[in-house]
Amino acid sequence: MELSVVMPCLNEAETVETCVRKTIGFFEDNGIDGEVVIADNGSTDGSQQLARDAGARVVPVIDKGYGNALMGGIRAARGRYVAMGDADDSYDFTTLGPFLDELRDGADLVMGNRFKGGIAPGAMPPLHRYLGNPVLSFAGRLFFSSKIGDFHCGLRAFNKESIMRLGLQTGGMEFASEMVVKATLAKYDIREVPTTLSPDGRTRAPHLNTWRDGWRHLRFLLLYSPRWLFLIPGLVFMTLGLVAGIALSFGPVRVGEVAFDVDTLVGAGAALVIGFQAVWFALLTKVYAMQEGFLPHDRRVQKIIDWWSLERGLVLGGLLAVAGLAGLAASLLHWRVNNFGELDPRQSLRLVVPAATALVMSLQAIFGSLFISILGIRRRQHPPAIDPADEAAGVVDAAVLKVAAEAQKERAVGAKTGDGEVATDPEREKAPAVAAAKPKTTGKTTGKSTAGSTGRTTGKTTGKSAGTSTGTSTGKSDGKAAGKPRAKGRAAGETGSAEDE
């Protein structure tokens, strides 16, 4: 099957039938081998039966949420390509042709762009149209160097195999952002086609919650971008704190009528500590994300990790600690010079603040280095050690069990042939060496029995026959004779003997 169209559904009785019929009509008009999959998330208004009557396949999804419903439908889809869209009739499924063309041309993900295709009046609230979607899409482009103009378009199509490799995890509305972000990080071929958005056909309120779902989208974008969440803000704080701290350590700084003094120095020290900690968080987050696999491998970060070591971190922390202790010693001398009395804060804080800042950063460097070393521990599962004696005993036990099983089968065969039938143990065909060790034949036969190169026997059996025969005789038989010998040294054409009654 070429195309599966997946629609998440939660009480869409007013519109689901229309969406299904439009999609099936698109298949028929364009000669596409396709299906419609309704990923039902617990509808109570009869949406399931309406979808089935219209020709869709309904897949129940227990876990609640937009992303969970879509992933349930995507997993159940039978098509090589999958298109997804809401079942509220806001998207026109008869316009899936350009999406399918791009997929056939080799694209991994094809996104619709409502801002290029057109948004009908009343189809999108002004807050979403002019603030929410543009801001979040801009953040996605900035954080991940993506070229997608509409991160949250609900109509999109993709190669199922490619998307399944991404391991999408989110269960809510942020699923739309996760797909684009992970596809971008995986260097997929992502393209855009214009699409239109119309007012939905429902009379009830939409499931989308503006502030809650908007925050979930922004949170996801931040968590998947340690560079913008930690590194860049940290570098900004460190730069401002370091520059201001150095300048204010020698005296007040005036900018026009505004004077910056020790109060600002305290703030500069705090900014330096915060920035340094944020940079460490960026590195730790990146290392963890790379090892767990939810962010791709970064060669630049790997070079830093390879160069950095616990020993280097301890040296850096030690140097900062020495600088901090030296500053505290200088402040104690300054206090002693003043007979341990009251000090001028403008003088004492210029010694204490830099010293305290250096001590705090020294501990951050040491703890951060220790944590990176912990993250670098490889989890390895060694194979269990096997005692040779135990292994040999196991082989012997297995052989004993096999011999016992063969003996039991032979007894069962003998019991079955007690009524005068000639039977053959099938295990002897598989193990001729075992059969050759027991070449004796006893039984009563009527007629003539001849065993030669072909070993054919014709006669009427009235007694018991057991031995190394291959074939089964009941009444009259035309098979291989029971008297064919397999012992070493007996000629292939030797004639067997039989006792006639």
253 shares its domain with 331? yes
231 shares its domain with 178? no
Over pLDDT 90: what percentage of the chain? Answer: 48
249 shares its domain with 299? yes
202 shares its domain with 285? no
Please report the pLDDT score of residue 405 as a whole number. Answer: 82
100 shares its domain with 248? no
Domain boundary among 223, 255, 285: 223
C-alpha 99/C-alpha 114 separation (Å) is 14
Q: Is the pLDDT higher at 439 or at 56?
A: 56
Please report the pLDDT score of residue 485 as a whole number. Answer: 37
- Give pLDDT tens digits for 121-148: 988 989 888 888 899 999 999 999 898 9
Residue 441 counted as domain residue: yes
Residue 493 counted as domain residue: no
Residue entry with tokens 């990923």: 39
Domain boundary among 321, 347, 375: 375
Domain boundary among 182, 203, 223: 223
Question: Domain of 236?
Answer: 226-375
430 shares its domain with 291? no
Angle among Cα 126, 130, 212 to the nearest 5 degrees reads 75
446 shares its domain with 416? yes
Residue 486 counted as domain residue: no
Local confidence band at 420 (pLDDT 50, 70, 90 cut-offs): very low
State the maximum Cα–Cα separation within the chain, in Å, rounded to a whole number.
136
Please report the pLDDT score of residue 390 as a whole number. Answer: 66
Mean pLDDT calculated for residue range 261-274: 93
In whole angstroms, how far apart are CA 65 and each of 42, 84, 452? Answer: 10, 15, 78
Please report the pLDDT score of residue 389 as a whole number. Answer: 64
Residue 422 has pLDDT above 60, yes or no: no
Please report the pLDDT score of residue 467 as a whole number. Answer: 34
Mean pLDDT calculated for residue range 29-54: 94
Residue-wise over 135-165: b if at least 16 C-beta within 10 A, else e?
A: ebbebbbebbebebbbbbbbbbbbbbebbee
- Give pLDDT tens digits for 297-356: 888 888 888 888 888 889 999 999 999 999 889 888 888 877 777 777 788 888 899 999
25 shares its domain with 97? yes
Residue 111 counted as domain residue: yes
Mean predicted lDDT score pLDDT of the chain: 80
84 shares its domain with 179? yes
Residue 496 has pLDDT above 70, yes or no: no
Sign of the dihedral through C-alpha 153, 195, 109, 80: positive
Residue 276 counted as domain residue: yes
134 shares its domain with 218? yes
Q: Is the pLDDT higher at 201 or at 456?
A: 201
Which of 97-101, 246-250, 325-329, 495-499 shows the lowest mean pLDDT across its residues? 495-499
Instruction: Report the domain count for the chain.
Output: 3
Q: Where would I find the H helices in 186-294?
A: 210-223, 226, 232-248, 262-292
- For residue 417, report the phi and psi dihedrals to the nearest 5 degrees: -95, 10
Please report the pLDDT score of residue 418 as a whole number. Answer: 54
Please report the pLDDT score of residue 457 as a whole number. Answer: 33
Residue 68 has pLDDT above 60, yes or no: yes
Q: Is the pLDDT higher at 12 or at 441?
A: 12
Please report the pLDDT score of residue 52 as a whole number. Answer: 95
- Give pLDDT tens digits for 23-35: 999 999 999 999 9
C-alpha 233/C-alpha 227 separation (Å) is 9
C-alpha 78/C-alpha 114 separation (Å) is 28
Please report the pLDDT score of residue 158 as a whole number. Answer: 96
Q: What is the dihedral of CA 125, 127, 131, 132, to 10 degrees?
A: -70
Q: Is the pLDDT higher at 190 or at 152?
A: 190
Please report the pLDDT score of residue 384 as a whole number. Answer: 54
Please report the pLDDT score of residue 377 as a whole number. Answer: 77
Residue 367 counted as domain residue: yes
40 shares its domain with 178? yes
Please report the pLDDT score of residue 471 as a whole number. Answer: 34
Strand order in the sheet with 156-159: 57-60, 34-40, 3-9, 81-84, 156-159, 109-113, 190-194
Residue 485 counted as domain residue: no
Chain centre distance of CA 33: 29
- Give pLDDT tens digits for 93-128: 999 999 999 999 999 999 999 999 999 998 898 988
Residue 489 counted as domain residue: no
Please report the pLDDT score of residue 37 as a whole number. Answer: 96
78 shares its domain with 61? yes
Helix then strand then coil, in percent of the chain rounded to 5, is: 50, 15, 35
Residue 472 has pLDDT above 90, yes or no: no
In whole angstroms, how far apart are CA 474 and each of 312, 406, 447, 500? Answer: 88, 24, 14, 18
